[in-house]
Chains A and B, each alone.
Chain A
Amino acid sequence: MALLTVRNLHARVAGKDILKGIDLEVAPGEVHAIMGPNGSGKSTLASVLAGRDGYEVTQGEVLFDGKPLLELSPEARAAAGVFLAFQYPVEIPGVGNIHFLRTALNAQRRSKGLEELDAMDFLQLAKEKSKLVQLDAAFMNRSVNEGFSGGEKKRNEIFQMAVLEPRLAILDETDSGLDIDALRTVAGGVNALRSPERGMVLITHYQRLLDYIVPDKVHVIAAGRIVRSGGRELALELEEKGYGWLGLDGGKKTTAEARR
């Protein structure tokens, strides 16, 4: 059975239709890449799946593990195993990174009827997982994302994902704004978290990510619809030709981009 099923999803933000009939099926163990030009609806899809306020679903349905997802609160979705790596990870001054993550993990464990982890056990777990993205111990005690560089914030997202062990990870432009070294680290973390039980949706603006994380399926989204799906070769085709050949107005050009 599919882990995530999106059927004819329509959604609007501030009265404006953004998603106009998205269909998507992600099986456990699969990594899907969703690409598309600015304003195509990529990040809106991520926000709707995670339950961000202000997004109105006007049509369609989303099933997670065969059960309706959209009626759940954001925290209930998280507890069910949906994780969103934010495009712009949020700073929470005064709240320690480790305190935040333990609160989150224990809230999720409570909702599953599991025992909470005490501070010592949690610290052990966090140390273990932090190696994955080379976050050193100093990050644990700093406030959530506060004063982190762009690369550190993105690594922190992957670290949280490693600790929370979601069943479905949605990575919203996790590669944007990263220099090549940081991109390699983040991609390494993501690759290490691939597993037969876990599905992943990589939302990206830049083809470059797919040089480091090889997806099972690639989708091109434009004007709120998936206009093309295929394997890895589709990404290569996009790199070569840009979005223009798909007949997308306002699509980006590859070489002329830098001239603007």
Chain B
Amino acid sequence: MTAALAHYLDVATRFQAAPEQASAPQWLKRLRADALAHFERQGLPTTRDEAWKYSRLGSIAEGTFIPRTGVSRDTAHLSAVVERLGLPGPRLVFVDGRLAPELSSVAGLPRGLTLKPLRDAVREDGELLESVLGQRALANEHAFTALNAALLEEGVLLRLAPGALSEVPVQVVFLTRGDAPVLSSPRILVVAGESSEASLVETYASAGPAGSAATFTNAVTEVTLGDNASLHHYKVQVEADAALHVGALHARQGRDSRFASHAFAFGGAMARNEVHAAFAGEGGDATLNGLYVGQGAQHLDNRTALDHAVPRCTSRELYKGVLDGQSRGTFHGLIRVRQDAQHTDSRQQNRNLLLSESAQADARPQLEIFADDVKCAHGAAVGRLDAQALFYLRSRGVPQAEAERLLTYAFAREVVEAVPAGPVRANIEALLAVKLPGAAQREVTA
């Protein structure tokens, strides 16, 4: 056993044995204990694991990260950070993996929506939680999901009653202060009733000064969409350079449901983002979009998996990477079309823009098609800025550096523009402008 594995096992064992966990419901205790066993059996993944072939764990594998306990207090001074990152409207904020009541507010939640901390939901919605928690994200298949479940305490439940409509996006914000090597293990649950519609923004950011300690966030999101329900999910990850991030979203889609995932990965030394969507009823539609922008030594790792298990579902994927410095971006997209899934219509695109000689991108589309009446398309590309376009701009008087920024932004904006116009998009545009400085501001707001 590696020292890191021993460390995480120790952390989780202590957590589960802590006195304050004695009052946890039996089902939760069992779930945590089972997850711990699964984690121990699987161990930390290595590049020998097919799903982690292009990944590197960095200091996650050194095993120094420790979870915080209790509620995060003295967080009022962070409200400016939250304001800058977030949008008006209902939100729950977590600092170093612990709920920060001072920063949170669920005022203005539309009728039919419930947004509450997971610890409250454990008390109040035990029956519901028992039926969905760990049912989408399986601890026996994913080591980090198992670790998350073994440490499961904090997180969010977003519940939509049948027919509920939310015009304002619901937000959950996860901040790390960077004053200690903190391990956060949030779990976000979304349960959407028939014909309900909502938007959820998950934001991950660091609030500490530059040079803060590395933190490790290991997040799991489970989405259950009822028939004809619709969820727009946004994940905005803008953590500090030293941060380590592993996130996995698993969605199960009912008949005629729509799920749109927009994942923006701008931060972190190593950030792995997984999005898994499974169709459980006919007529479903999934959109999986992603934009990863890496600089310095960042390693941005994206994995998507679409399970077309039933007929007549549609999926669209667009992942784009902009990689500068010595950064590395990977995309591994699996589309599985099962034998019964006739009339599947699936398209996947992955495009990478390399801005430096040492930046690197790996594209790995993987299509497994067992049905015979389907449309499946995939495209993968790794390229540099178009020399002719650059020359054209320069010939019109645009200086080289500015021309490069202009073209880079033009490349990235396709993913941003797939976000419906509104405050969420404006917010992402602003964050992208910070990440890609000098991108023409007029372009941004146009």
A touches B in complex, CB < 8 A: yes
Q: Which A residues form the contact surface with B (CB < 8 A)?
A: 38, 87-88, 91, 150, 173, 176-177, 179-180, 205-206, 208, 252, 254-255, 257-260
Q: Which B residues form the contact surface with A (CB < 8 A)?
A: 128, 131-132, 159-163, 165, 191-197, 224, 226-230, 254-258, 283-285, 312, 314, 343, 345
Do the beta carbons of B132 and A205 come within 8 Å of each other?
Answer: no
Q: What B residues does A208 contact at CB under 8 A?
A: 163, 195, 228
Interchain residue pairs with CB less than 8 A apart (20): A88-B283, A91-B345, A150-B285, A173-B256, A176-B256, A176-B283, A179-B258, A180-B165, A205-B227, A205-B228, A205-B255, A206-B228, A208-B228, A255-B193, A258-B162, A258-B191, A258-B194, A258-B224, A258-B226, A259-B132
Across the interface, B229 reaches (CB within 8 A) one of A88, A150, A173, A258, namely: A258
Do the beta carbons of B256 and A205 come within 8 Å of each other?
Answer: yes
For the residues of A in contact with B, the DSSP-based class is: loop
Closest to B227 in A: A257
Q: What A residues does B159 contact at CB under 8 A?
A: 258
Closest to A177 in B: B256
Across the interface, B131 reaches (CB within 8 A) one of A173, A206, A259, namely: A259
Known: A258-B196, A258-B224. 6 other contacts (CB 8 A): A88-B283, A176-B255, A177-B284, A257-B193, A258-B160, A259-B191
- Count of A-B residue pairs with CB < 8 Å: 71
Known contacts A177-B283, A179-B230, A259-B132, A254 near B194 by CB under 8 Å? yes
Measured in the bound complex, the distance between the Cα atoms of B163 and A91 in whole Å is 30
Q: What B residues does A252 contact at CB under 8 A?
A: 194, 227
Do the beta carbons of B283 and A258 come within 8 Å of each other?
Answer: no
Do the beta carbons of A206 and B197 come within 8 Å of each other?
Answer: no
Q: What A residues does B162 contact at CB under 8 A?
A: 254-255, 257-258
Do the beta carbons of A88 and B343 come within 8 Å of each other?
Answer: yes
Q: Identify which of A91, A177, A258 gathers the most chain B CB atoms within 10 Å of its CB.
A: A258
Measured in the bound complex, the distance between the Cα atoms of B283 and A173 in whole Å is 11
Closest Cβ of chain A to B117, distance in Å, is 20
Closest to B257 in A: A177
Measured in the bound complex, the distance between the Cα atoms of B228 and A150 in whole Å is 12
Closest Cβ of chain B to A174, distance in Å, is 12
Measured in the bound complex, the distance between the Cα atoms of B192 and A101 in whole Å is 39
Closest Cβ of chain A to B254, distance in Å, is 8
Q: What A residues does B195 contact at CB under 8 A?
A: 206, 208
Q: What B residues does A173 contact at CB under 8 A?
A: 256
Which 7 pairs across A and B sit closest by C-beta, in order of nearness? A258-B193, A258-B226, A177-B256, A176-B256, A208-B195, A257-B194, A257-B226
Closest Cβ of chain A to B168, distance in Å, is 14
Q: What B residues does A258 contact at CB under 8 A?
A: 159-160, 162, 191-194, 196, 224, 226, 229
Across the interface, A177 reaches (CB within 8 A) one of B163, B192, B258, B343, namely: B258
Measured in the bound complex, the distance between the Cα atoms of B341 and A38 in whole Å is 18
Q: What A residues does B128 contact at CB under 8 A?
A: 259
Measured in the bound complex, the distance between the Cα atoms of B373 and A88 in whole Å is 15
Known contacts A38-B255, A206-B227, A150 near B314 by CB under 8 Å? yes
Q: Identify which of B191, B195, B258, B314 gathers the most chain A CB atoms within 10 Å of its CB.
A: B195
Q: What A residues does B258 contact at CB under 8 A?
A: 150, 177, 179
Measured in the bound complex, the distance between the Cα atoms of B228 and A38 in whole Å is 13
Known contacts A88-B283, A255-B162, A258-B162, A177 near B194 by CB under 8 Å? no
